[in-house]
Structure 1
Amino acid sequence: MRTDGSAQGGGVRPGGALLGTGRGMLGAMAVVIVFSGVVQGYLTPLLPELGGRLHLGGVGQNNLYLLSQCAFAVLTPLLSRLGDLYGHRRLLRVAVTLVAAGSLLMAVAPTVATLAVGMVLQGAVVGFFPLLAGILRSRAPERGRIGMSVLVGALLIAIGVGGLVAGTLSERHAAAGLWVAVPVAAVAVVAALVLPDSDTERGGRFHYGAAALLTAGLVALVLVLAQGEAWGWLSARSLGTGALAALALVTWVAVERRATHPLVSVRMLRDRRLAVISAHTFCAAFGTIGFLGANALFLGADPDRTGYGMGLGPQAIATVSLAMVVAGFAGSTATPRLARRIGDRAVLATGGALTALGFLGMVVFHATLTQYIVSALVVGLATGLFSSITRTLSAEVVPERETALAVGVNELALSLGAAIGAAVIGALFAAHQHGSHIALSGFAWSWGVCAGVALLGSALALAYGTTAQPSVLPRTDTVTPKEGIA
């Protein structure tokens, strides 16, 4: 029984929330997610110009991205678990404040040190989706699927628009684009303050030993994935870091299995449906996100010098990226309706098949910009589809008290899939290097590998069970008279 008075209308809610469980709540959540998208999209076009101004070369810029990736890997399970233990709204406010502080720090005083600290603080964006999923499932389960699809769509659009606006501003002054995130941050902080808290049952304690082992394992894993090509995959440094990652993660699993209050329940990780969802997410992210940097390289390549590419400038590349995220928005918002018609398993499989179709289209059709963009839009559509359905299902297949952690596990699978995809593509490019540029065969192999991994994800989706479980959210997407509209 709810005691928050949210059954009717709006007004002030106990616990500090000013919103009910209807459109007002979803609107505030969308504001938080838009902030996440801007943060994830606006730095990519800025760093090359900022690097020149701050005398930071390619290696230094790569190290900044590496710091960010390490923060993503570490903070995903920690923020998710802390939210399930101590309150989703409380940890959401902490995460939004950290990201806002990092964004403001970089804009006010852009130096190498502040960029490094700011990007680490911005790593807390990985907690937004899991924590919002915990609130959404608790406060408005009847809106779960439509709500998640809208949030994913808002994220994708914000990534594209944030990058385009920041890139345009930075053409006159390199640091001007850093201010793009600041006003959005202020609005997101307000949105986090007015959101209601989840009323999920809480209990247990935070396992600091398990957290330390998981952090060490994930940091070592991200390091070897990001730096393996530069170090040499068979070098002592790469092999040693990989061994450290494996040892820490194996020890973490052993500790978790014996713990009275585990950080991440091994039983949850054994759930076949969550395992299938996470594996599918890994495969989908491998290409759709792992190839983003390479996509910009192909679009920007000078065909007179390399024999391929479109010769586009930064603003034109950002426009193509925006078109892809608009296609992703369409895929995301169509997901609840599609799931009702063909079922969850079929939607998962369709997302993988569409991703493969897009990359195979690039293999065959890349001679003209129109041909390439058509294939890229198919990949964008598939990105929205898989992002929505996997985040939705990962929230549904576990008990409500583990919602944020389950979505966090899925987010971690997404991050690792993207990192490994980028590492594999980098290795393929290195193997097909001709002088100062990458041979077309390097792109062709990359497109083919991305298509193959996507097809594997589509095949894995067929193992997803469709039997209803008690923990699954209600499938209705209509508003009941009891909940009303806030």
Structure 2
Amino acid sequence: MTQRVAPGRVSLGMLMGVVGFLAFVEFTSGVLQGYYTPMLTDIARHLHIHDADVNWLEGTQLMLSALVVPAFAKLGDMIGHRRMLLISTAVTGAASLVLPFTDSFAVFLVGWALMGFYVVWLPLEIALIWSRARRMEGRSTITARAAGILVAALESGAIIGALVGGALVDALPLWIVLLVPSILIIVCFFVVLCGVKESPEPTGGIFDTVGLVLISLALIAFTGGLSMLRLNGPADPLSWAVVAIGVLLVIPFALWELRCADPLIDVRMFRSPALGPVFLTAGLFGVSVLGAQAPLSTFARTDPGVYGFGLGTSGFATSLIIGVYLIAMIVGALTYPLATRLVAPRIVLIVAAVLVGVGFLLFLPLHGTYLQVIVNMVVVGIGSGALVAALPAAAASAAPHTQTSVATGLTNSVKTVGGAVASCVFGIALLHGASGAVADGTAGSFSGYVTVWVVCGVTALVAAVLLLFVPKTAFTDAETPVVDLVP
């Protein structure tokens, strides 16, 4: 039986219950993403590592995330999105408890990497909402609105996390500061356990273990090669060979998936004129939204009196920059569903990508004062917020109904791979600089920061160009017929 409900009524009524609980999950995710950023320099000193080595933390977490998301997204479609949400929350909480009690870089790195399980939360939540909205009219609009609410919650958590983290790190021992997020994750687990209902009608099926092994080998080789490049430098041929092996291993994975009756990832989705550019945009967007986080923080903390560049900000002052950036992301996320009422979602995505590119390129002439950096980050933030909300919602609306979680998860997976590549490139650039000379002291090189700004700006503009090739009616309810569901 088909149930048709007005989109406005659904978004405020039937969906708000589940969105409210899921918003707390995204609030927690935001805290995790914002809380640690102002203290990355303090963590580096605690672990006795160079500022450029902070990118190891980011890179390893992104590597693990790239492996986790495809598996958890598929399992979410098969056995339930809530169930996989609970498992990923439990793993994230356990890993967070490692950080306060070690000063070993290796142990800290493992714990930090395992916390990367939280990246699967948003795609699972979007898929859960989409699965409930399948019986309603206007579900693309509903999902877009829900995504905006979730991303607003995420960025609100990131703002509060950044402000609280920046204030606490200036006042308390680091181990106490690192313990705070663990408490919130434990609360988050029980919120999901008690407040979120399972998605209706999981697809079932047999898990594609062979596909998971093949894509895992490809990602491990690819990201492992990137790690070797960071260690050995860009001139090392063995590192490049390992990267190439990782890329080539995608071929047997794709061939297997095309033959598999119930594939882990339906690679045909990459051929879709609507989904293909979205996945590519997600990868290019990951360069800036994931790969540039640590460099932006360490640039702000760098003392200009010693190194001749940077802002020399304290932990709290750095958190204020992050807070303004995240407020801009909230504005972008909430503006996205409103803007799609006036113009096609495709146009909104293009404008958002252009804003990210322009914002980063503004750093080239404008990086010497606190105000200049704030202005740049506002421009980047508005575009980034719109893209964070739009990409998974767009993927859900364009994907086959049996692949909703996989499609939304793929936006995160591809974004994560883009961030992992950028993290490696930026780490090398900051450590060695454009001239190849290792940066003095513990600060990154200025030419390395210029590389970060240029790469982030150009990749965002390339994404905007790719989106021009998306069909004009993509991501709209016109392309998404109502599905009959038996209550």
TM-score interval, smaller chain: 0.7 to 0.9
Measured in 2, the distance between the counterparts of 1:117 and 1:288 equals: 22
SS of equivalent to 1:363: coil
Shift of 1:23: 1.8
Deviations 1:3-59 (A, max 9, x none): 9xxxxx9xxxxxxxxxx9432211100111112222233334455545655667779
Per the alignment, residue 448 of structure 1 pairs with 454
Structure 1 stretches of 5 or more lacking a match? Answer: 4-8, 10-19, 476-482
In 2 relative to 1, CA 442–119 (structure 1 residues): closer, same or farther, beyond 3 Å?
Answer: closer
In the alignment, is residue 180 of structure 1 matched against residue 173 of structure 2? no
Does residue 378 of structure 2 align to residue 377 of structure 1?
yes
Number of the residue aligned with 2:299:
298
Aligned to 1:463: 469
Q: Secondary structure at the match of 1:35?
A: helix
Cross-structure match for 2:130: 137
Matched-pair contact (CA < 8 Å) for 1:396–1:471:
no
CA offset digits 1:376-402 (Å, max 9, x no partner)? 211111110111111210111012221
- Structure 1 residue 116 displacement after superposition: 4.4
Say if 1:424 and 1:435 are closer, same or farther in 2 by CA, change over 3 A: closer
Residue 162 of structure 1 contacts residue 180 of structure 1 at CA under 8 Å; is this kept in 2? Answer: no
1:289-345, CA deviations, whole angstroms, 9 ceiling, x for partnerless residues? 322222223322322333332221222111101110111011101100011111111
- What amino acid maps onto 1:449 in structure 2? V
- Asked if structure 1 preserves the Cα contact closer than 8 Å seen for 2:58 and 2:423, the reply is no
Where do residues 282-321 of structure 1 align in structure 2 (5 Å cutoff)? 282-321=283-322
Aligned-residue identity in percent? 28
Amino acid at match of 2:226: L
Change (3 A) 1:414 1:138: same
Q: 1:100 aligns with which of 93, 118, 132?
A: 93
1:257 is displaced (CA, Å) by 1.7
* Equivalence for 1:39: 32
Question: 1:391 corresponds to which letter in structure 2?
Answer: P
Counterpart of 1:146 in structure 2 is 145
Give the Cα separation in 2 of the matches to 1:327 and 1:28.
23
The one-letter amino acid of 2:285's match is A
Single out whichever of 109-118 and 382-391 deviates more from structure 2: 109-118
**Higher mean C-alpha displacement, 416-425 vs 260-269:** 416-425
Identify if the C-alpha distance between structure 1 residues 61 and 366 changes in structure 2 by more than 3 Å, giving closer, same or farther. Answer: closer
Give deviations 1:203-226, integer Å, cap 9, x for gaps. Answer: 321111111111111122222234
* 8 A Cα contact 2:67 2:216, kept in partner: yes
- The structure-2 alpha-carbon separation of the partners of 1:328 and 1:163, relative to structure 1 and needing over 3 Å to count, comes to same
Measure, in 1, the Cα distance between the counterparts of 2:478 and 2:33.
32
With normalisation by structure 1, the TM-score equals 0.86
Q: Structure 2 CA distance, aligned partners of 1:343 and 1:60? A: 42
* Distance across 1 between alignment mates of 2:44 and 2:444: 23
Answering whether residue 324 of structure 2 is matched by residue 323 of structure 1, we say yes
Deviation at 1:247, TM superposition (A): 3.3
**1:84 Cα deviation from its structure 2 partner:** 0.8
Q: 1:387 aligned to 2:378? A: no
In the alignment, which residue of structure 2 is the partner of 1:191? 191
For the 8 Å contact 1:360–1:447, the answer to whether it is kept is: yes
Greater Cα offset, 430-439 or 78-87:
430-439
Task: Tell which deviates more after alignment, 433-442 or 214-223.
Answer: 433-442
Tell whether the 8 Å contact from 1:362 to 1:372 is kept in structure 2 after alignment: yes
- Is this contact kept in 2: 1:88–1:131, CA < 8 A? yes
- How many residue pairs end up in the alignment? 460
C-alpha separation in 2, matches of 1:161 and 1:367: 26
Equivalence for 1:242: 243
Q: Which amino acid aligns with 2:173?
A: H
Secondary structure of the equivalent of 1:175?
helix
Asked if 2 retains the 8 angstrom alpha-carbon contact of 1:69 and 1:222, the reply is: no
Give me the whole-angstrom Cα distance separating, in 2, the residues matched to 1:376 and 1:274: 28
Offset from partner CA, 1:85-119 (integer Å, 9 cap, x none): 11111111111122122224445x44647634533
**Residues 71 and 327 from structure 1, CA distance in 2 versus in 1: closer, same or farther, beyond 3 angstroms?**
same
More off after superposition, 345-354 vs 245-254: 245-254
Per the alignment, residue 123 of structure 1 pairs with 116
Looking at structure 2, the residues matched to 367 and 106 of structure 1 have their Cα atoms a distance apart, in angstroms, of 34
Larger displacement relative to structure 2 (438-447 or 207-216) = 438-447
Q: Which amino acid aligns with 1:387?
A: V
Offset at residue 427 of structure 1 (A): 4.2
Report the counterpart of residue 21 of structure 2 in structure 1: 28
How far the C-alpha of 1:367 sits from its partner, in A, is 3.2
**1:281 pairs with 2:282:** yes
Task: Give yes or no for contact 1:83–1:91 (8 Å, CA) kept in 2.
Answer: yes
- Judging changes above 3 Å, is the alpha-carbon distance between structure 1 residues 409 and 60 closer, same or farther for their aligned structure 2 residues? same
Secondary structure at the counterpart of residue 137 of structure 1: helix
In structure 1, the residue matched to 2:264 is 263
Q: CA separation in 2, counterparts of 1:283 and 1:32?
A: 26
After superposing the two structures, state which structure 1 stretch, 339-348 or 158-167, moved more. 158-167
Check the 8 A contact 2:92/2:116 in 1, yes or no.
Answer: yes
Change (3 A) 1:264 1:388: same
Structure-2-length-normalised TM-score: 0.86
Equivalent runs, 1:333-412 vs 2, <5 Å:
333-412=334-413
For the residues of structure 2 that align with 1:438 and 1:116, how far apart are their CA atoms?
A: 20
Maintained 8 Å contact 1:144/1:473? no
